[in-house]
Structure 1
Amino acid sequence: MTDQRPQYGELATPEEQRRAAGLPPLSEVVAEPVFTTPAPGPVVADAAPRRPHAVDRFVTIGLLAYGLINVIVTALSYLDLTRVMNESMKILGIEGEFTNYDQGKLWGTIAAVVLVVGWSLTAWASIRRLRSAKVAWWVPLVGAVVTMLIASMCLAVPMFGDPAFMSYVGNVGGS
């Protein structure tokens, strides 16, 4: 009887490999069917990455730059809130001067910090959306509205604590 196994260095056929491994010949093997379940929902054939919109990027960066300039100028003016309140009262036609100095200094500083933190969070969110190629032009607008709303509430505290302003509100409401 001759040895039918391949010698060292010889290539074995798939049949010889199966026989050496103790498996049945390929002719006797029946392939079992493979069942797959359909994917739920639509299958996207072309999942190319989104491209950033040049106009969106330009508008978003422009709004952030405008917001940064606005935040710097406004935050610096809030640090001298007495002057800002006196000018506001003069524009509204309120007699007298702003005299709630302690609360004006405290809440003016808080409002300035709110502006800086609000702009920083807005810039962070905008940049994240730009990097992920999502539309981002609306983020600076929403950030500005939310930040100014919170800063305005901070400014309302010393304004409503000022006797001249409250006298004006009482006269307007009582007329």
Structure 2
Amino acid sequence: MSDGEARPRPQYGEYASPEEQRARIQQPAPAWQQPVTPAVPVVTEAPGAGIPQAQQDADALSAGAPVRPRLVDRVVTIALLVYGLFNVVTSFPSFLDYGAYAETMFAVMGLDVTLSDPAAGRPWGIAAAVVLALGWIATALVSLWSLRRGRLTWWIPLAAGILFTLVTGVLMAIPLMSDPAVVKALLGTTGG
């Protein structure tokens, strides 16, 4: 470039002043150029005192800070899942042999009755077993997902266990309540 030629005009603002650059990108001035604010009062209690732990964890999660692991929650969640799996596995034989299940229920209730058609209950027992197994699998997946996210999780297997136990109980009771001999025996014991 010779002295007579003018310097080429910049295309992307290479020669813009810092104030022009900040104005263009709409960024505030650096802290050393900001007006002075009054000092923050000194806090004498520990940070987070008086704030519930769940709120502190939510604040830390939203700020991007890792949430400290909850060992007790993890242990209780895994213990409930193991208990649920034990329950599912031990329930299968009684659900699949509906005649034996019905005899056990009659003995517990103190009824001297037999099912009119024990084979009619087998599809209901299979349905109850499938619902219980799929419910446990779904519960385990949701619980593990929640544990990985750092959320409080112990209530998930507890609530799911109650829900799926009730659903399978209803499925197993339908054939009992549909049998005329059982209904007659139940009405005979409650009426007398």
Tell me the TM-score normalised to structure 2 length.
0.69
Is the 2:115–2:179 contact (alpha carbons within 8 Å) kept by the matching residues of 1?
A: yes
1:83 aligned to which of 97, 100, 104: 100
Aligned to 1:137: 154
2:147 and 2:86 mapped to 1: Cα distance? 21
4+ aligned runs moved over 2 Å, structure 1: 29-36, 43-47, 172-175
Q: Which whole-Å CA distance do the structure 2 matches of 1:3 and 1:154 have between them?
A: 96
Q: Secondary structure at the match of 1:116?
A: helix
Between the two proteins, the alignment pairs up a number of residues equal to: 155
Correspondence for 1:49:
66
Over 3 Å counting, the alpha-carbon distance change for 1:30 and 1:53 in structure 2 is closer
- Would you say the 8 A contact 1:126–1:140 is kept in 2? yes
Q: How do 1:80-159 and structure 2 match up within 5 A?
A: 80-159=97-176
Read off the aligned partner of 2:9 and give its amino acid letter.
A
For residues 98 and 151 of structure 2, the distance between their equivalents in structure 1, rounded to whole angstroms, comes to: 39
Q: TM-score, normalised by structure 1?
A: 0.75
Percentage of matched positions with identical amino acids: 32
- CA separation of 1:4 and 1:140: change in aligned 2, threshold 3 A: farther
Amino acid corresponding to residue 133 of structure 1 in structure 2? G
> Which residue number corresponds to residue 161 of structure 1?
178
Partner of 1:139: helix, strand, or coil?
Answer: helix
2:104 match: secondary structure: helix
Partner of 1:64: 81
Distance 1:4 1:151 in 2: 94
Bigger relative contact order, structure 1 or 2 (CA pairs below 8 A, ≥6 apart): 1
Q: Which residue number corresponds to residue 20 of structure 1? A: 8
Aligned partner letter, 1:78:
F
User: Alignment partner of 2:92: what SS?
Assistant: helix
Check the 8 A contact 1:94/1:164 in 2, yes or no: no
- Tell whether the 8 Å contact from 1:76 to 1:112 is kept in structure 2 after alignment: no
What is the rounded CA distance, in whole Å, between the counterparts of 1:83 and 1:30 in structure 2? 86
Match of 1:12 in 2: none
User: Relative to structure 1, is the Cα distance of residues 63 and 30 closer, same or farther in structure 2, using a 3 angstrom cutoff?
Assistant: closer
CA drift at 1:52: 2.4
Q: Secondary structure at the match of 1:20?
A: coil
Q: How big is each residue's C-alpha offset from its partner over 1:86-137, in whole Å with a ceiling of 9 and x where there is no partner?
A: 0110121111223331221110111111110110111011011011111111
